[in-house]
Amino acid sequence: MTMTEIVQRGLFFEEFELGAKYQHRPGRTVTEADNVLFTTLTMNTQALHLDAAFAETQEPFRERLVNSMWTLSTMVGSSVAQLTQGTLVAQLGLGDIRFVHPLFVGDTLYTESRIREKRLSGSRPGNGICVIEHTGRNQDGVIVATARRTVLVLCAPQTGAPGDG
């Protein structure tokens, strides 16, 4: 009996389905360490992320907010295994980023992605361009952030060409 070997990878250009919603699981529960470490690593001195005593005095939330760049990074990161692992050539841009509701320590971030546009690259044969819309929701289903990401991905390898054998 021959064992089949399957390597996890992202999608080739042809496999991205316009309008499809990809649900990325598992979710990611934010810890105290996530927020403090990410905030300090990125040299973001915003007291609303680091200073609990200060944050408790600030309306309307009265608690520390999770760094929004952590939220964005985790949304994109959670999509990699399912969409672009090993098939991404380059990230071309991020845009239309919105943080519509705060995320707090203890919240769980769930991400879904929709494919909004796709086209073959005019300048890079064998590559395609996809526009992916990421949406992050907390454990209650409340949208916390959205972003559009444009990526350059590999097209599927051509098989069955003359001489293949």
pLDDT in tens, 23-74: 999 999 999 999 999 999 999 999 999 999 999 999 999 999 999 999 999 9
Sequence spans of domains, the chain: 13-31+66-154
Dihedral class, residue 62 (left if φ above 0, else alpha if ψ from -120 to 50, else beta): left
Question: What is 13-31+66-154's CATH number?
Answer: 3.10.129.10
Residue 93 pLDDT exceeds 70: yes
Tokens, residue 150: 């444009």
Model pTM score:
0.88
